[in-house]
């Protein structure tokens, strides 16, 4: 996991995964230094694109599914030599319990009525872990007959790819967004995602004045550069903080410190992000703002590089 932290109440599947360095063979009996190195390597290779908070959230959602499956007789082992995924029926019922109208009963289970973004979050977490544990194939089921004549269903692949699970998630999200006429008569209103109003130019200028005039020294210049840089490239909060000088590519004909001409654009490589699960990286173009020099991200970035002596 991110930063290799040890959390209370960990998933046994995640523990096996980290202790075996992300390999099918269990190396948990090795000495402590090798064990720690294996955990770090597994975290680097498979969880690199997840920050600490997201990693913990994903693990908690997996723990909820593991507990639900154990209570309903699905003894899946997600990682290891004899691994097998959860049954699609288990996953389908779990998502239904989480997303159906709060208070509704499915057998002896009472639904929780979670919002659509939370349902999508559960789906993203399960997709992530199933792929990390090696369940990347299309989901399928086989009926195996034991020596005593009993039969059991053996699943294989990623249960999130099952048509039943996919259709259930679509129905839950749509049902929460567009309630039926009966739901409306009972006072249920459609789900409306919360959206913050966009920043105005006046607000950005006030932010600039605060950073440059109120905060002393390089800290204020750095804060304004990061703020404007993030707005211009639509970055998440932590993404600009992970950038290094090697991730910036200036035009070939530009020399840092030239006071006459500034580049019209700077190419920025984002090495990995929350949406880039495989850490392939993406290159974005930071364009200058010729209409308002005070709000030009290229000018702010060049100024920071010069002042900081980078």
Tens of pLDDT, residues 234-264: 888 778 888 888 888 888 777 776 656 778 8
3-state secondary structure of 162: coil
Q: Does the structure show a pLDDT above 60 at 33?
A: no
Q: How far apart are CA 132 and CA 126, in angstroms?
A: 10
CA angle 175, 177, 181 (to 5 degrees): 65
In 37-187, which ranges are E strands?
Answer: 105-106, 109-110, 140-145, 151-156
In this structure, the strands spanning 265-270 and 140-145 are unpaired
pLDDT at 62: 92
Per-residue pLDDT of 193-237, as tens digits, reads: 667 788 888 998 999 999 888 887 788 888 898 889 888 888 887
| Most distant pair of Cα atoms in the chain: their distance | 86
pLDDT at 26: 42
Question: Does the pTM of the predicted model rise above 0.75?
Answer: no
Note the residue count of the chain.
310
Q: Does the structure show a pLDDT above 60 at 190?
A: yes
Percentage of the chain exceeding pLDDT 90: 8
């Amino acid at each position: 996991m991110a930063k290799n932290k040890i959390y209370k109440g960990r998933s046994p599947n995640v523990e096996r995964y980290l202790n075996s360095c992300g390999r099918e063979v269990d190396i948990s009996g090795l000495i402590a230094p090798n064990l720690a190195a294996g955990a770090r390597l597994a975290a680097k290779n498979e969880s690199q694109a997840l920050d600490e908070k997201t990693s913990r959230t994903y693990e908690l959602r997996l723990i909820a599914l593991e507990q639900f499956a154990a209570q309903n007789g699905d003894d899946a082992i997600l990682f290891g030599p004899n691994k097998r995924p959860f049954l699609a029926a288990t996953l389908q019922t779990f998502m239904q319990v989480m997303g159906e109208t709060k208070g509704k009963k499915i057998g002896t289970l009472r639904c929780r009525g979670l919002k659509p973004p939370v349902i999508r979050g559960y789906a993203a977490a399960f997709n992530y872990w199933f792929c990390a544990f090696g369940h990347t194939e299309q989901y399928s089921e086989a009926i195996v007959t034991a020596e005593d004549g009993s039969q059991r269903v053996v699943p294989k692949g990623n249960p999130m790819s099952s048509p039943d699970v996919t259709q259930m998630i679509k129905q839950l999200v749509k049902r929460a967004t567009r309630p039926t006429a009966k739901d409306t008569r009972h006072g249920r209103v459609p789900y409306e995602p919360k959206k913050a109003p966009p920043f105005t130019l006046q607000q950005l200028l006030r932010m600039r004045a605060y950073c440059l005039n109120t905060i002393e020294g390089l800290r204020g210049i750095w804060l304004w550069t990061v703020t404007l840089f993030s707005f211009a490239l639509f970055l998440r909060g932590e993404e600009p903080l992970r950038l290094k000088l090697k991730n910036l590519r200036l035009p070939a004909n530009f020399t840092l410190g030239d006071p006459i001409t500034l580049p019209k654009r700077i190419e920025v490589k984002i090495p990995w992000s929350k949406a880039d699960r495989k850490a392939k990286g993406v290159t974005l173009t930071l364009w200058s703002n010729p209409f308002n020099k005070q709000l030009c991200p290229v000018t702010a970035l060049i100024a920071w590089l010069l002042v900081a002596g980078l």
